[in-house]
Amino acid sequence: MSHTQLPRSTRAVAAAAVGAMAALLTGAPAAADVVQGTVKPATAKVAIKNAAGEQVAEVSGGAFQLRLPAGKFTAECPAPSQKKVTFFSLAQPTSVNIDCS
């Protein structure tokens, strides 16, 4: 191996980094990411809606974990509380705690 060539493992890492940057720069759709948290009280059922107002998931009371694409979402508690929590699913795990009491 000459001093101008990179080791195979270094080339693989560099190729992966270039591929990731290309995906970001070309506007490729963001992959789904983990959103986790808790819903209170234990009897609550919360509707998760996207920015267009479409329901994309429902989570029950207690701990939850789901995958959502990148974007803005709203967790809506049912009547009588009707509380709303707005959050973003980003390029990293996100934690959201929803209290419907």
The string of pLDDT tens digits covering residues 13-57 is: 444 444 444 444 444 445 678 999 999 999 999 999 999 999 999
Largest interatomic CA distance in the chain: 72
Say which residues have a Cβ less than 8 Å from residue 91's Cβ, sequence separation at least 6: 30, 33, 70
Q: What pLDDT shows up at residue 12? A: 47
- Token duo for residue 47: 């509707």
The string of pLDDT tens digits covering residues 49-74 is: 999 999 999 999 999 999 999 999 99
Classify domain 33-99 at the CATH superfamily level.
Immunoglobulins (2.60.40.10)
The string of pLDDT tens digits covering residues 83-100 is: 999 999 987 889 999 999
pTM over 0.75: no
Annotated domain spans of the chain: 33-99
